[in-house]
Amino acid sequence: MIKQYRFSLIGLALLISGIANVTFNQIAQGQGRDLIPRSVLFGNPDRASVRISPDGKHISYLAPRNGLLNVWVQSLGQDDAKPITNSTTRPIRNYFWMHNNKQIIYAQDSGGDENFHLYAVDIQTGDQKDLTPFEEIRARVVATDRNFPDEILVGINNRNPQYHDVWRINTSTGESQLVYENNVFIGVIADSNFQIRAGIRYTSDGGKIVETRDSSTDSWYELVRWSRNDSITSSLMGFTRDNNTIYLLDSRNADTAQLYQYTTGEDGSYERIAGNEIADLSMLEMDPATGRPQAVGYEYKRRQWEILDDSIQEDWDYLTQLRDADMSIISRTEDDKTWIVAYLRDDGPVEYHLYDRQAKQATYLFSNRAALEGYSLAKMKPVVIKARDGLKLVSYLTTPLNGKSTNLPMVLLVHGGPWARDSWGYNPLHQWLANRGYAVLSVNFRGSTGFGKHFVNAGDREWARAMHDDLIDAVLWAVDEKIADPDRVAIMGGSYGGYATLVGLTFTPDFFAAGVDIVGPSDVKTLLESFPPYWEPIISLFETRVGALSEPEYLASISPINRIDAISRPLLIGQGKNDPRVTEEQSQMIVDAMQAKGLPVTYVLFPDEGHGFANPANRLAFFAVTEVFLAQHLGGEAEPLSDTITKSSAQIMAGADLIEGLGIISDD
């Protein structure tokens, strides 16, 4: 029976399920270890998403204002930083400069519903306007160009929720004009004249077709057709600024994605530009004046770059020698004389530098988290693990700094997607867990991207099957290497990683000691049925690679909800109520089913979140609960809760086994 409790952490409604099968052990409060506060790891960064204005007179970044990330602007070389936005309910996470140097555009949704609107804000006055004032729409940027400093092309699905028409909007006046009605493409590309010249669409068998036209008045024709075998590793990139060349990533003639260029016109040619044998081409550095590639990047274990344009070789040589870290150019002025450069390492915060190309001089600006500089952080080690069928799984291992290195409790972190990947570099989850005494392992299982089409296609129709076997094989590797204690391994992840967690506790119920599921689907059938309408044009991607609604028995066979009886280990679930991808129903179904069978489950619901926890107070609250949960079931250390949870919107249903650890005092 569910009971309502009030307790010492005022303001948090806690529902106690009365389920308990584990006796709470006293959590070590930092004994023998300098615990890094969760607020340092998961709170707001000091500065992030650093940009320089096209004219080079200002820099901008995201920084906290009233506890949430907002856009700040300061004059270059001056100490006059000021916030120009005042979002009070959701952090701003994406923004860019208009070419007029007077405005910044940012995207914002409501409560995590992903119905993003675009807003223009004046950097001097702070005046802002909603450029996409339609109800129940999702806006996306199609193009900006220096030829049109006061205008932007925006995709809006207000006519048909499945497809985004293209609107031309004046960001100063707000005036808009429909310029392309789209009934076919999942995405379109404009040239530098703001003409819609190329588009990409999925076929019913999971393939993709790129179509193009020579002008906005000419007929469309097929440029490239990719079968399902190449559809994930191949994509449309964009035009050169002279509008005569289109760039594409294409894996038809290799296992990995290669860069090709198509020259338009009657004598059009299709030519390979660059590629790597073991990793997909995944990064492009383009000349802002010409739109031609100057450097291309690949990532197997770590990033590596290939220079295509000799004019930046000297700059590159200087910048890459400046720090022992992975360097990337993140912003450039219109005249290309000034760059913002970021340095990523695994054991410290991201550093930002201002680079003067003429003087060949880089000046340190700041790091994204100054507080981290006061702590010693663990190194992340790339390892390649062989799956049972010989497939090579690029993985990343972090172990506690200056502590025990064998027979450790371990957390297996599973990335989302699943068509995504884990990478080397600073990872707050790795640092947090290693600091609490855990080994941490992230695995690029089959189906992950970046490793070629054979690797990604090996994950087709392998949810809860070979994809899960890869995770099991990686844990067994860690056990064989004496890194992990086989009796103290938890599985944790978000989105697909949350699904993998549920699979771990239902398909291999005795393998993991506990699981942490963040916005993970429990029923694949209802997942496919509940996708937002603008995902409909890509439904064949899921039908061919995961499973189709026309085969309900197969979908049932890979859905954890149908194996609830097998669960024997504790489960923690985090969910955003407004999630449009993995809806609240996905978590509620498994919570209800587990409660009905008396199985241990802890449920944290955030009424103001979507697919993940953007609000820092909510993020800190969830990881506080997670820390207590893991400490209880794996034996690691935990930072005291203080008032972390009361500052969030969390609604928690906890098993009795977690009550003592959360510091609850019932007055029932």
Catalytic positions, written as ranges: 495, 579, 611
15 sits in which H/E element: strand 14-16
Return the biggest CA–CA distance within the chain.
Answer: 82
As given in the structure block, the two tokens for residue 207 are 């393939």
- One DSSP character per residue, 90-101 reads S---EEEE-TTS
As given in the structure block, the two tokens for residue 598 are 């008396």
Q: Is 529 exposed, middle or buried (0-12, 13-18, 19+ CB in 10 A)?
A: exposed
Q: Is 76 exposed, middle or buried (0-12, 13-18, 19+ CB in 10 A)?
A: middle
Other CB atoms within a 10 A radius of the CB of residue 623 amount to 22
List the beta bridge partners of residue 576. 606
Buried b (16+ CB within 10 A) or exposed e, 304-329: ebeebeeebeebbeebeeebebbbbb
- Report d(CA 2, CA 596) in Å as an integer: 11
- CB half-sphere exposure, 335, CA atoms < 13 A: 8
- CB half-sphere exposure, 197, CA atoms < 13 A: 23
- Report d(CA 303, CA 129) in Å as an integer: 39
Other CB atoms within a 10 A radius of the CB of residue 178 amount to 12
Q: Using alpha carbons, select from 613, 620, 638 the residue that is nearest to residue 628.
A: 638
- Report d(CA 617, CA 78) in Å as an integer: 32
* The 3-state secondary structure of 36-67, one letter per residue: CCHHHHHCCCCCEEEEECCCCCEEEEEEEECC
Interhelix angle for 466-480 vs 496-506, to 10°? 70
- Per the CB < 8 A criterion, the answer to whether 467 and 418 are in contact is yes
Beta-carbon contacts of 35 under 8 Å, excluding residues fewer than 6 positions away, are 435, 436, 637, 639
**Can you give the C-alpha Rg of the chain in angstroms?**
25
- Per the CB < 8 A criterion, the answer to whether 394 and 444 are in contact is yes
Q: Is 656 exposed, middle or buried (0-12, 13-18, 19+ CB in 10 A)?
A: middle
Interhelix angle for 616-634 vs 428-435, to 10°? 40
How many helices (H) and strands (E) the chain has is answered by 13, 38
